[in-house]
Amino acid sequence: MHALRWAVIAMVVDVSGSGAAIAQQSATTQQSTPARQSEPRTGAAPAEPPAPHNEPIIVTGRPLPPKDEIKALSRAITPYVSVGPLPRFSASVCFGTAGLPRRTLQDIGYRLALDAELAGLKLAGDRCKPNVYVLFVDGIGDQLATLVRRKWWVFGDRSPSEIREITREQGPVRAWSNNETLGADGQPIGGDGILKVPIATRIAPSIRRDTLAAIVLIERNAVVGKSPNQIADYVAMRSLGGVRPPRAGSKETILSLFDGRTREAPVELTAFDRGYLRGLYYQRDTEFAGVTQGRIARSILKAKEAELAQAAKQAP
């Protein structure tokens, strides 16, 4: 883990220039975070406040998609697991960001802290060591190729085929996580490569998969015109949720933010996204991936229904 940290920091210096720093976001910095609100877009001048008027503000919720459609979309973005549980963070999270102006990085970090709390994750304290790295780079393909050649161990437990899949991904974002397989009680695998399980049962898996670190690389020029909130919410889904954007694209999720086929991306986490994160982290005990995916779908439906109910209350 320490080797990963310094490799990422070294890459930040390479892509951001001498003296680049990791802006760590922790529980302390989050305490001064304002409530969720719209932010000026990156690379654009702050918008002028709208003129006051007496017309009511109307919030319109999207129609509730069919249950099968929600299940299909949640499964499409969830990493495939042949057996056992889905990987996720169990330790407190600490965000390290680099590659944009410091104020923008701070805004992104504050928002990420809010997203982590929304998911039910704990935030690390002051001077924490990042386990979620968000790096804004130029020439993302070249940067990734350099990592593969010189610092391949940054990819952790990713298999060669998974690394190739990451490098061949299209678009301005690359993301992956490093996971560790432990016993359900947190017992590590022994030096002989054997995991001793005190009790084996078919009701729950005898292992768990802890996410040790998540890395998100974003092409710097791709964030122009996007708000810090949008960027942070997208990163939260890729890093904390461990998901991938749907191949077909969808307005139901912030994962469409960098999808050129989507004309108008969401301005923040959607009900689908909030439901996904809450469903993923609701149960702290280990469980089979299929059970988690079922709860995620129910959590998304609950969030969508709450959104529609709120919109109905605000309707004239």
Give residue-wise pLDDT tens across range 266-290: 999 999 999 999 999 997 778 888 8
Phi, psi of 25 (to 5 degrees): -115, 125
Q: Does residue 199 register a pLDDT over 80?
A: no
pLDDT above 80 for 5: no
Would you place residue 35 in the very low, low, confident or very high pLDDT band (cuts 50, 70, 90)?
very low
Among 15, 88, 1, smallest CA distance to 295 is for 88
Q: Given a cut of 70, is residue 312 above it in pLDDT? A: yes
Of residues 56 and 256, the one with the higher pLDDT is 256
Catalogue the E-assigned strands of the chain: 23-25, 95-98, 132-137, 173-183, 207-219
In the block, tokens 């994962």 appear at 255
Q: Find the helix packing angle between 102-119 and 228-239, rounded to 10°.
A: 50
For residue 3, pLDDT beyond 60:
no
Q: How far apart are the C-alpha atoms of 110 and 158, rounded to whole Å?
A: 29
CB neighbour class for 6 (10 Å; exposed up to 12, middle 13-18, buried from 19): exposed
**In this model, does residue 12 exceed pLDDT 50?**
no
pLDDT recorded at residue 229: 97
Alpha-carbon span 147 to 10, nearest angstrom? 11
Task: Identify the band that residue 315 occupies on the pLDDT scale cut at 50, 70 and 90.
Answer: confident
Highest-pLDDT range among 11-15, 170-174, 231-235: 231-235
Alpha-carbon distance of 176 to 65, in angstroms, equals 29
Name the average pLDDT for the chain.
Answer: 80
State whether residue 103 is helix, strand or coil: helix
The number of beta carbons lying within 10 Å of the beta carbon of residue 80 is 7
For the whole model, what pTM was predicted? 0.82
Q: Would you state the pLDDT for residue 36?
A: 53
Sheet with 132-137, side-by-side order of all strands: 23-25, 95-98, 132-137, 207-219, 173-183
Q: What is the mean pLDDT of residues 166-182?
A: 91
Q: What CA–CA distances, in Å, run from 271 to 65, 205, 248, 251?
A: 12, 30, 19, 11
Query: What confidence category does residue 197 fall into, taking pLDDT thresholds of 50, 70 and 90?
Result: low
* Burial class of residue 42 in the structure, from the number of CB atoms within 10 Å of its CB (0-12 exposed, 13-18 middle, 19+ buried): buried
Decide if pLDDT at 40 tops 70.
no
Local structure of residue 237 (DSSP, 8 states): H
Backbone angles phi, psi at 235, to 5 degrees: -60, -40
Residues 181 and 306: their CA atoms lie apart, in Å, by 36
Mean pLDDT of 111-139: 94
pLDDT reported for residue 64 = 62
User: In the numeric block, which tokens belong to residue 47?
Assistant: 């918008």
pLDDT attached to residue 46: 39
Residue range 200-224: average pLDDT?
A: 86
pLDDT band at 236 (very low <50, low <70, confident <90, very high): very high
Q: How much is the pLDDT for 67? A: 81
Overall average pLDDT of the 224-251 stretch? 93
Contact call for residues 7 and 13 (beta carbons, < 8 A): no
pLDDT at position 200 is 59
